Structure 1
Amino acid sequence: MKFYIKQHKYYCSIDLHTRSMYVCILDSKSQVKFHKNIKTSPDALMKAIKPYLDDLVVAHVLPALGSRFL
């Protein structure tokens, strides 16, 4: 199995909800660069991540699906 091992300058995690999303951006040394609860909208997200777009990896955190989906 092949794994993705490329290193990046910034890493972003997004915990998405209906009306808000928690966005956390870390640098390659695990220092927090951005950590806020923002409005769920494309414009708000782009404003938050724009300073880091030169080398950013984004992960989306899905809410718990519950046992009926297992």
Structure 2
Amino acid sequence: MGRIIALNLLYEIEDIDRFPRVQDFASYCRLVKCAKESNGKKYGTAGRKIGNAHLRWAFSEAAQLFLKGNKRGQRYLQKVTSKHGKGKALSILAHKMGRAVYFMLKNRQGFDMNRFLAA
């Protein structure tokens, strides 16, 4: 991931315990779109600027660095790209990395490539 991006993540996240669920963390990092709904009816998405832009940038850069020289990661991206397209595939990878970082910090465990690429 790199030192600058890792430090950016740690400084912007502060305390992982302030996010009770991984969905809250992903939303705060701008890794998912906000839902616009009322009375159980969905009206699309809104609020593109809700959350932390620095974390969005950090996870996007981390996804790019993850692919550099990583054959297994490139194969995973190719599989997702064939289904969703290049841009969306990189966003999916950034979201997946965000979820991995959340669980790594929450459970105090290291990164496991096999578990990350399984699914």
TM-score (norm 2): 0.19
User: Between Structure 1 and Structure 2, which shows a larger proportion of helix residues?
Assistant: 2
TM-score (norm 1): 0.27
Question: Which structure's CA Rg is the greater one?
Answer: 2
User: Between Structure 1 and Structure 2, which shows a larger proportion of strand residues?
Assistant: 1
